[in-house]
Each structure stands twice: as structure tokens, then as C-alpha cells.
A = this chain, B = another copy of it.
């Protein structure tokens, strides 16, 4: 397994520096470091400072560590929605985000697009929307909503908070933080790290909303409500004992990304996506599942392979290239290819060459 390239969109292939960073962490005693120590505060600050630089996060935004992006879905409803949220649902993950609102007894409204499709400019945002919830990149179908279109949602309804699930796209997309209130991701996708850490970025408007709900005696949760997360984050700490090793590893990979340069990462992502989409078009046995170019994800590329899915997967695997299965009911008809910084140009070129030699 270790010589295979893992194209599953998450947990995905580790960034190539991670094993060395983990070895160093054990040498330095990081896994048994107290989360109330100065050294932990320093690691935590390096991580958030690095993320601020990498993603161009301005002042007035706060960065919190959680256990997963799934946890962040829950925290968003508890802290940012008194009654009504509005969801753009176009796949399994945006659907799950919406369902969690229902489970938490919120009036979670939605508009739906078919699998493989995005949304047009006609989307109407209900008047009582407190929070707009949108999934930038649907890991299940490979649909990515254009960043400008997401910004446009905020311009349409500036009084609502806009929360963007960027789980399987960051660090690729460049969001304008003037037009986003909350953004979140987990580290086992684009950051190429072991699973077990979510990162939640919020602005002061989110803090004010959580405080207003608490003042109204709405339960906003306990150890991971926004005021508690914030008071600890100001000291570069966390309310509970966190996944210290994961925070350390994130600080190291963010530093590696910064050394490569985010623009270079983005260009490489676009190059790799372009050659794979081209190969999927050219090949008689495959086609991109997402037809409209504007919605084709750069970071999770889904191939429609129909009855040849298993054969293609086996052929690629024989070349050391492990495609991800299609999601859910598409398991037998699609393959998914993560295109993260951990996937090198050379690995993508090998994938494209292999697809060129494919005969089913």
C-alpha cells in the first residue's frame, strides 16, 4: 500500500513531509505536551499565524480548533442560528449540513440542485434567513460553486451571516473575507494530514450573534460555544485538551505550504485539474460527471465510468494509482480523484498517461 498513490478525497494521501514532522514531534515530546504550557501556546500561535498568512485572513477574524468539520456544523447551529437558516443543497455533504440543523430543532430551509449541478443567480434567500449555509465543494459529486457566486450570496443579503463549508477545497480557493462571515475545513483533505482536527474561522459578527443568543437564554452549547472558544483562543489555548499532535502537524504543513507559496499551489492545482479533465473527455470510457465547466471542481474530480468503473479502478490500481470510489449510490458507476497539494504533478501526469493507455 505504501507505494500506491491515494486519490481518495479524504482521508487522503498525506502531504509528503508529514511522516518526518510526526517523527520530530515524538522526539520533541509534543504528544505528551500540556495544553496549558507556553510551548503549546507557541505552537497554537504558529498554526493560526500561518493560516492567516496562507489564506489571507484579516484582523477581526478568529481561528478555533475543533475535532472535525462535522462538529463545526453542529456549533454553527448552536451559536449562529436562533430560528432560521437557509441551505444550498446539491449533494450528500450539503444535505447532511442541512439535516443537522433539523436535528438541532432549527427551522433549516433549503433549495436543492440535482447531483452534479450548481445554482444560478435566481436563488431566492428567504426574508427571515439568519444564516446562509453553502458548501463550496461537494466532495460527493465534484461540484464546486464559484467563489464569486458565493460572495454574491452575501451581497444579496448582507444582514445574514454567510457560513462556507470549504472542507475539501482549501487551501485552493481565495475567499474575500469581507464577504464571508465563517469558513471551515478539516485537515485530512487539502492539508494532507491525519484526520482528527477541524478548523473554524469566524468574524466578530459571529461572536456578537452568539453573545446575543446567550443573552436571550438560548443554549449555545458549553465548552465549544463561541465565547468560550474565543476567550481561550485569545491566550492561544483551547477549552479542552485538544489533539495537540494534529495542531503541531498543521503548523508544520502550513509552513511548508507558505514556503512553496500559495500562488504556486493554486497554479499547480489548476494544471493538474486541467490535464485530468482533458483526459476524461478524450477517453471513450470516461467523462467528467460535472458537465458545466464553471461547476467542475478543481480539487475533487469525479469521473463517470458507468459499467467500466471496476475495470478502470483495477487497471489504475495495477499502476499504483488508487482512485476513490464514487460516493454512495454512485459507488459502482463513478470514480473520484482528489487533487490536493499532496498529489504531485508527476503523479497526476502518470494518472493521465495511464488513462491514455486504458483499454476496457
Contacts and interface: CB of A to CB of B under 8 A. Distances in A.
Given A1-B29, A29-B1, A34-B11, A68 B70 contact: no
A105 interface: yes
A186 to B, nearest CB: 7
The DSSP consensus for interface residues of chain A is loop
B11 A33 contact: yes
A198 to B, nearest CB: 9
Contacts of A11: 31-35, 241, 244
A105 B243 contact: no
A43 to B, nearest CB: 13
Contacts of A221: 74, 103-104
A290 interface: no
Interface centre among A1, A23, A222, A223 (most CB of B within 10 A): A222
Interface size bucket, A side? 35 or more
Nearest to A31: B194
A2 B29 contact: yes
A334 to B, nearest CB: 15
A8 B22 contact: no
A68 B240 contact: yes
5 contacts: A1-B29, A67-B243, A186-B241, A195-B245, A196-B241
Given A11-B32, A14-B32, A196-B245, 6 more contacts: A11-B244, A14-B31, A23-B23, A31-B195, A67-B71, A74-B221
